[in-house]
Structure 1
Amino acid sequence: MTTLLSAFQESTEVAVKESISLIDLLMKGGYMVVPLALLLVAAIYIFFERIFTLKAAAKVPNNFNEQVRQLIERGDLNGARNFCAQIKSPLARMVEKGISRIGSPLKTIEASIENVGKVEIYRLEKNLSLLATIAGAAPMIGFLGTVTGMIQAFIAIAQEEGQVSPKMLSSGIYEAMITTAVGLFIGIVAYLAYNYLVTRVSKLVHRMEYTSVDFIDLLQEPQNVR
């Protein structure tokens, strides 16, 4: 019993000594880990920057359309514009532009709102294409690092004289595979972040379209055409 216990303790101590921390493991991945780390930082920055931007853009009072309607029906166009200007949101900026064009033909008002909407959508989608590029490029960079690592490993094996130890062969292979694992991880994270942000933008765009349509319908009411 004592012999078995001592053998277990010795094996545990050996396993602890041979265990590799995550940082050490990443450092063994070679120079390709550096651009992958930069891509991860860029992906995280873009994700949180867009999250805060979209959250701010969606902050519109629940009764926004109703308040605008009431001000316009009373003929208080300046009050309606000032109310919209106080709200820092794409929806409010679109409506504010439409209010400033009241008195012009309806098609001119629609074109003005549409132009503002295009600019706002461009701002909302800023850097999303870069996030999609990171999602596609990270796995490829990781695979490139694995290929170059395998080449270096086999060159080292070829230069060895005599029998090659299994330990040397396995260590060279697992070190080369690190970059593929890191690249896939970054690619998956960036892909999920991209799709989540696209969904958020799509919901906000639909809300912008609804608001603009509601505003145009308001202007088409006979008592509100001024």
Structure 2
Amino acid sequence: RPRSQIKEAMEDASLYVLPQRDKNFVLLETIAHISPLLGLLGTLLGMAKGIRLLSGNLTPNFPAGIFDATWQAFLATIFGLVVSITSFLAYSYLRLRIRAIILEMDRLATEFLDFLTE
């Protein structure tokens, strides 16, 4: 076969394989984007709990309740940020690895094509 036909067949194969890599990253990317929002939601719920305590009757446990609600809000924020940062770092690392693999595949495909058409 001529070089152009072999190259076209290899490019057609890559059009099938390369989109497959992206579908596996959707979940990781979604987690990285949504987790800060979930942390914010937890923060708001914790602050709402604190406000509810402030608006209610003052009891002997009042200061402890406020500190508990504030602690809950901080933990939600911290957890959301930790999950987001970890997910984003993993996502970025894996994307870089895939780019390196694709470049290596291109190089090997060119060498293979050269070998076949010598």
TM bin, normalised by shorter chain, reads 0.7 to 0.9
How many Å separate the matches in 2 of 1:149 and 1:171?
A: 8
Identity %: 29
2:48 aligned residue (151, 155, 162): 151
Following superposition, the deviation at residue 153 of structure 1 comes to 2.0
Are the equivalent residues in 2 in contact too, given 1:110–1:216 (CA < 8 A)? Answer: yes
| Offset at residue 109 of structure 1 (A) | 1.7
Cα distance, 1:125 vs structure 2: 3.4
Report the counterpart of residue 125 of structure 1 in structure 2.
Answer: 22
Higher RCO structure (Cα 8 Å, ≥6 apart): 2
- 1:175 match: 72
Q: What are the equivalent positions in structure 2 for 1:64-75 lying under 5 Å apart?
A: none
Structure 1 distance, partners of 2:22, 2:107, is 19
Structure 1 segments unaligned to the other structure (5+ residues): 1-102, 222-226
Q: Is residue 188 of structure 1 aligned with residue 85 of structure 2? A: yes
CA positional deviation for 1:220: 3.5
The aligned counterpart of 2:98 is 201
TM-score when normalising by structure 1: 0.47
CA contact (8 A) 1:142 1:182 kept: yes
**Kept after mapping to 2: 8 A contact 1:157/1:164:** no
What's the secondary structure of 2:23's corresponding residue?
Answer: coil
Name the structure 2 match of 1:94: none
| Distance in 2 (alpha carbons) for counterparts of 1:156 and 1:166 | 9
Instruction: Identify the residue that residue 139 of structure 1 maps to in structure 2.
Output: 36
| CA displacement at 1:157 relative to structure 2 | 1.9
Deviations 1:116-166, CA, capped at 9 Å, x for gaps: 112222233332132112111111111111112211220122012478843
Contact 2:53 2:62 in 1 (8 A): no
Superposition TM-score, scaled by structure 2 size: 0.85
Query: Which residue matches 2:115?
Result: 218
* Structure 2 unaligned blocks of 5 or more: none
Greater radius of gyration (CA): 1
Q: Are residues 1:113 and 2:13 paired?
A: no
